[in-house]
Chain A
Amino acid sequence: MIITDLPPLAASLFSLIAIASLLLGFVMLGSRWLRHYIYAFAAESWLIALLSATVGFYGGISDLYIIAALTVLFRGCILPYLILRFISRRGVAREMQVALQPSSSLVAGAFAVIFALAVATHLCRGLALAGTVAVVALTVMLSLKLIGFLMLTVRHEAVSQLLGLLVLENGIFLGAQVLVPGMPLLIETVILFDLLIVVVCFGVLVRYLASHVGSTSALVLNRLVG
């Protein structure tokens, strides 16, 4: 178990990176410009890759360097590039109608973090991990999860919904690096590839939406009820 006997510097580094990713989650929540979401998402992915590499260094797990490289490649470069391409082709620059204003979403996000902290503290107390970096990792993981769901519910633009889903997965990935660094390489790699396929599928669907429905906003998807 590498969480319990970390050097203080490593623990602070992990916490710093985790908290910075959480802040980037708030950047997405507080902005209306789709381009900002993507930059924030890309930065978050780079941070997660940095975290993998740091954990790999301190834990002596060389597999994590491969994961870090793949994370940078897929989440940090290819996915943002693909999504930026959708946006420039569609000509959708910003979220037109939102169910919740960015300022209110920030407040809701803050409550989500408090809730996540409560759950994480409770869990870690039971595991005799209170006061370790596990609390931070768990908090950030659960908060990013909740923030992702918040983005999915209050944003209507197809690209924002896709990014909401990616934030959900980023949270899990971030937590996994700290909590279960020994997770087999095979699983992590396949999940990364899977993400790429998800984004491509979304891309095709967005194209269908634009050509057959006439809009990429989920607000027009209201025919099927009951």
Chain B
Amino acid sequence: MSRKKSISNIIGALLFILALTIVISITIIILTEYSKFVDTVRYTESLEQERDIEKLHLSGAITDGTLNLVIANIGPITVNIIDILIHDLENNTLLSLSNITKTDINKVLNPGEEASYNIQLNSNNIIISNSTVIIVVTSRGRSFTLLIESGEAMP
């Protein structure tokens, strides 16, 4: 009788410890994953906030087939320029400046800084008209455009 009692005690204690271990470990996993999820939410919120305050001012012209472009960072945060696209309005074609120049045009602009580009457009069998839209793409997925008509930037 006493042997049976001690065995049932063993089983009871074993089940209790097992249940406790399962509950604790599942709680740890849920808390860890939830913490990673909260970190991701914070990260994406901060990314969107930074995107909203990115601000660039573009000015420039196309003279004798050369694009003179000045990009000024007039926002409060550092901006990373990934690429500059040119939409030729006469031929309705879109070209990447990094593709035309075969160089990396990536630039990091701190607040208040400017970057100047003097790029020969009409080379390597590529002819770009004087009516274009210049599109500057940043690493946060923002784009800033400048309309150039007959070589002159439009306000």
Asked if chains A and B come from one complex, the reply is no
Q: Which residues of B contact A (CB under 8 A)?
A: none
